[in-house]
Amino acid sequence: MVDNTTRIKYRPATELVYIDNSDGKGPKDSYNAASMPIYQTATFKQSSSTQMGEYDYSRSGNPTRSHVENHLAKIMSAKRAFAVNSGMTALDVITRLVKAGEEIIAGNDLYGGTNRLLSFLATHNNVKTHHIDTTNSETIIPYLSEKTRLVLLETPTNPLMKIADIPRIAEIVHEQCPNALVVVDNTMMSPYLQRPLELGADIVYHSGTKYLSGHHDLMAGVVAVKDDAIGDKIYFTINATGVGLGPFDCWLLMRGVKTLAVRMDRQQANAIKIADFLQSHKFKVHYPGLKTHPQFELHAKMSSGPGAVLSFETGDVELSEKLVELTRLWGISVSFGCVNSLISMPCRMSHASIPAEVRAARAMPEDLIRLCVGIEDVDDLLEDLYNALTVSGALKLAN
């Protein structure tokens, strides 16, 4: 006999689809709609002038937003999750936890927008960031102090696909700086493949624009926490600044999350074949799904798959530019995570805001090409890529 009052935890692909309201949390729909209604309203009428109901103003809360936030908290193993209007908004909200004079420790291979925000905090808010090689957990130790407030990790990093040991870094930080918080940008993996809160992180965030949405028809960000007190501070900032995600976008985000597993499975399978193809032609490929990746085993311990983003080097900037422009199926675009395959040169596009001398100091190759693999037939993607490699001369150069 099944006890219907007991919360059953299913496998990740099932949890993405299954909506469980048996715990009494979340908004109730009196008509039991299969899809949560879109409460496209700014305000909610009250039955009393002195006693407010659960919702009064959509900046502070909305049933559609509550629905997706409860679901996100479940799939991210979080106490609370919050939906905001972009991934960078998510990071901005998190950095509001840092006071002037305090410090952040971050990796030296970061998304360009993250680097831009951290630079702004240094020049305007007196918040210093130490950039370190997060692939070596011990390198963090000299930078930890009573001033440390956040340790910000990307794993895999964007675009060089480096791996940070989340459990070990979290252990070091919590032992030496109990007031510091370990924050992980998990956008590259999604909750389907990796759940940093289960690995020791305190806060995890996503650009919901990427894999959670999956179709690049939505701008969204997600913040998830495992501590109620931190959650209260995050909510205060979201409410005070009015950056909560709108009802229709919440509905789109919820719809995207339900198909995350089938999309990611296909995209990842395609990416593995493309990485193998490029490596077989002697290109230097950055992808944690390859056994030649220096942290292949570490990544496999933390995640259930390598994801669908990879990068490779041609050895020549002009050749890379030509190659990118010769593809047909691969759209030239920033971002990743949608069903269509994308190609870009990070140093010219997503990471162009990082000064050239800083990119050089961080050993980011100017010729680097990033591939964000979609759900197309992999043979078509390979043929298109092979044609561009051949016509551009990159294939001949690599061999």
DSSP 144-176: --TTEEEEEEESS-TTT-----HHHHHHHHHHH
Give the C-alpha separation, 218 to 223, whole Å: 16
The pLDDT score that the predictor gives to residue 219 is: 97
Q: In this structure, are strands 203-207 and 181-185 parallel, antiparallel, or unpaired?
A: parallel
Q: Is the pLDDT of residue 141 over 50?
A: yes
Segment 75-94 shows an average pLDDT of 98
Partners of residue 342 on adjacent β-strands: 331, 372
Amino acid at 57: Y
Q: In this structure, are strands 309-313 and 128-132 parallel, antiparallel, or unpaired?
A: unpaired
Structure token pair of residue 179:
């007031």
Sign of CA dihedral 36, 37, 43, 49: negative
For the ranges 9-18, 152-161, 359-368, which has the lowest average pLDDT? 359-368
The beta strands (E) that lie in the chain are given as 80-84, 103-107, 128-132, 148-154, 181-185, 203-207, 221-225, 284-286, 309-313, 331-332, 342-344, 369-372
- Secondary structure letter of residue 328 according to DSSP: S
Element spanning 239, H or E: helix 228-241
Q: What is the pTM of this model?
A: 0.94
3-state DSSP call for residue 80?
strand
Amino acid at 63: P
The residue count of the chain comes to 399
The pLDDT score that the predictor gives to residue 359 is: 81
Q: Which active-site residues does the annotation give?
A: 59, 111, 185, 210
The pLDDT score that the predictor gives to residue 285 is: 98
Minimal CA–CA distance to 114: which of 158, 166, 160, 179? 158
Minimal CA–CA distance to 36: which of 191, 217, 219, 247? 247
Q: Is the pLDDT of residue 3 over 80?
A: no
Give the C-alpha separation, 161 to 330, whole Å: 20
Q: pLDDT tier at 22 (50, 70, 90 boundaries)?
A: low
Contact 185, 201 (CB under 8 A): no
Residue with tokens 């032609």: 281
Amino acid at 203: I
For the ranges 32-46, 77-91, 259-273, 289-303, which has the lowest average pLDDT? 32-46
Q: Is the pLDDT of residue 312 over 50?
A: yes
Residue with tokens 């030649």: 292
CA distances, 38 to each of 24, 64, 72, 73, 254 (Å): 20, 6, 17, 20, 11
Q: pLDDT tier at 4 (50, 70, 90 boundaries)?
A: very low
Tell me how far apart the terminal alpha carbons of the chain are, to the nearest angstrom: 64
Q: pLDDT tier at 24 (50, 70, 90 boundaries)?
A: low
CA distances, 157 to each of 106, 309, 352 (Å): 11, 10, 16
Give the C-alpha separation, 89 to 105, whole Å: 19
Q: pLDDT tier at 1 (50, 70, 90 boundaries)?
A: very low
Contact 78, 226 (CB under 8 A): yes
The pLDDT score that the predictor gives to residue 43 is: 95
* Greater pLDDT, 216 or 7: 216
Instruction: Give residues with Cβ within 8 angstroms of 323, minimum separation 6.
Output: 314, 369, 388, 389, 392, 394
CA atoms within 13 A on the CB side of 161: 28
Give the C-alpha separation, 144 to 104, whole Å: 9
Segment 89-112 shows an average pLDDT of 96
Whole-number average pLDDT of the chain = 94
Q: Is the pLDDT of residue 67 over 90?
A: yes
pLDDT digits (tens, 9 = 90+) for 343-395: 999 888 777 777 788 787 777 889 999 999 999 999 999 999 999 999 999 98
Segment 285-311 shows an average pLDDT of 98
What is the share, in percent, of the chain residues with pLDDT greater than 70?
96
The pLDDT score that the predictor gives to residue 222 is: 98
